[in-house]
């Protein structure tokens, strides 16, 4: 179990010290397991990044909430000025007048203007003019955000939920499987796997760049089983399942590819902890060939069968 055989040391910019037993540098979804404290509100805020990277459900929720908030604000201003300075307000109750002012605000901010309600005095006209300008700016911003979200290149690579230690060319190998479930084409796909191991009797960790059977493929239309041969040069050489668990091993995966749809490079990240590795199992073959072409059953990406280790 000699770790002096490592070829390259690289901490990836991650902290080498782990305090908890469940230390994980990279979450399964590719986000970093890092929390920043004592950062001021204005230093930490990044509105554009938040709006572009949040889920579509949250994004539309923010748009709807902002739309109603602005209209509620301007409806309150029209009510404060006095609904008698707006033509076409027929309700005699405060609530009814507020509702009519709210819909007038909605027509004004969208520059729709049905014409039933219109401002009469200077104050009402000033508020309506400001709201119209604000509406133009907000909808231009919302359009830009929508375009930014649609045009943002994302590598939707699907990883097997677990990795395996399986027999490989008279030795054993660490393996995991990836597939591109979308119809877009990824070219020049490169993968880098780094192993993080906890030092003996220490909270510090070492990072080892793992040699792979194949670190790059030109085309990626089917699946790819990434293999690290556990030979005499591997930092895993001589380790068994208990050793890997004791060392709190984490395999950090970074994939880079060229997306034909966006004509840009895209990245994907994930990781496997020691307890997410199945020993003595091998992935089943997913590709089926017939006269019409090749079929890949993506739903079986995690399926394995028992295989005796060397």
Residue 185, pLDDT score: 87
**At residue 144, does pLDDT exceed 50?**
yes
Comparing 143-147, 192-196, 201-205, 267-271, the range with the smallest average pLDDT is: 201-205
Question: What band does 5 get if pLDDT is binned at 50, 70 and 90?
Answer: very low
Residue 54 has pLDDT above 70, yes or no: yes
Residue 239: predicted pLDDT: 92
Say if residues 117 and 88 touch (Cβ distance below 8 Å): yes
Helix, strand, coil % over all residues of the chain, rounded to 5: 35, 30, 35
> Residues 6 or more apart from 195 whose CB is under 8 A from it?
207, 208, 210, 235, 236, 249, 250, 251, 252
Mean pLDDT calculated for residue range 60-71 = 93
Whole-number pLDDT of residue 12 = 67
Least confidently predicted of 10-19, 86-95, 113-122, 278-287: 10-19
Q: What is the dihedral of CA 267, 6, 229, 180, to 10 degrees?
A: 0
Instruction: For residues 106-133, give the mean pLDDT.
Output: 87
| More confident site: 156 or 301 | 301
User: Which tokens go with 5?
Assistant: 């055989």
Mean pLDDT within 82-99: 86
Tens digits of per-residue pLDDT, 174-193?
Answer: 999 999 988 888 999 999 99
Average pLDDT over residues 154-162: 88
- pTM of the predicted model as reported, rounded to 2 decimal places: 0.75
Percent of the chain with pLDDT over 70: 93
The rounded mean pLDDT for the chain is 86
- pLDDT bin (cut points 50, 70, 90) of residue 1 is very low
Residue 166 pLDDT grade (very low, low, confident, very high; cuts 50, 70, 90): very high
Query: Region 108-131: what's the mean pLDDT?
Result: 87
Give the chain's domains with CATH numbers.
7-36+154-306 (2.60.40.1400), 46-151 (1.10.287.70)
For 202-260, write each residue's pLDDT tens digit: 778 888 999 999 999 999 888 999 999 999 999 999 899 999 999 889 999 999 999 88
Cα 135 from Cα 49, distance rounded (Å):
22
On the question of pLDDT at 4 being above 50, the answer is no
| Burial of 62 per CB tally in 10 Å (0-12, 13-18, 19+) | middle
270 to 68, 100, 165, 219, 231: CA distances (angstroms): 39, 52, 18, 21, 24
The rounded distance, in Å, linking the Cα atoms of 179 and 185 is 11
Q: Is 233 helix (H, G, I), strand (E, B) or coil?
A: coil
Query: Among 2-16, 83-97, 136-150, 232-246, whose mean pLDDT is lowest?
Result: 2-16
Q: How far apart are CA 140 and CA 136, in angstroms?
A: 6
CA distance 282 to 176: 10
Q: Output 8-14 pairs: Cβ under 8 A, ≥24 positions apart.
A: 8/208, 8/209, 9/206, 9/207, 9/208, 9/209, 10/194, 10/207, 10/209, 11/207, 12/194, 12/207, 12/252, 14/196, 14/207
């Amino acid at each position: 179990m000699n770790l002096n055989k490592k070829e390259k040391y690289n901490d990836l910019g991650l902290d080498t010290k782990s305090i908890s037993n469940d230390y994980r540098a990279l979450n399964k979804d590719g986000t970093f397991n890092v929390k920043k404290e004592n950062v001021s509100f204005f230093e930490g805020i990044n509105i554009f990044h938040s709006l572009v990277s949040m889920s579509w459900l949250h994004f539309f929720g923010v748009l709807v909430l902002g739309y109603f908030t602005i209209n509620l604000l301007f409806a309150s201003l029209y009510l404060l000025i006095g609904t008698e300075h707006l033509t076409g307000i027929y309700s005699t109750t405060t609530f009814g007048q507020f509702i009519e002012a709210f819909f007038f605000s909605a027509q004004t901010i969208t520059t729709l203007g049905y014409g039933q309600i219109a401002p009469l005095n200077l104050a009402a006209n000033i508020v309506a003019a400001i709201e119209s300008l604000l509406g133009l700016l907000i909808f231009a911003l919302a359009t830009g955000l929508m375009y930014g979200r649609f045009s943002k290149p994302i590598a939707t690579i699907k990883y097997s939920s677990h990795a395996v230690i399986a027999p490989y060319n008279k030795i054993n190998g660490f393996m995991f499987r990836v597939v591109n479930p979308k119809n877009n084409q990824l070219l020049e796909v490169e993968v880098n796997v780094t192993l993080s191991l906890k030092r003996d009797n220490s909270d510090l960790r070492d990072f080892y760049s793992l040699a792979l059977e194949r670190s790059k493929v030109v085309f990626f239309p089917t699946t790819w089983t990434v293999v690290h041969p556990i030979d005499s040069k591997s930092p895993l050489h001589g380790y068994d399942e208990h050793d890997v668990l004791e060392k709190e091993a984490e395999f950090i995966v970074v994939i880079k590819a060229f997306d034909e749809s966006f004509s840009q490079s895209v990245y994907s990240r994930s990781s496997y902890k020691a307890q997410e590795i199945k020993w003595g199992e091998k992935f089943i073959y997913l590709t089926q060939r017939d006269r019409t072409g090749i079929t890949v059953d993506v739903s079986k990406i995690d399926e394995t069968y028992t295989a005796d280790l060397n």
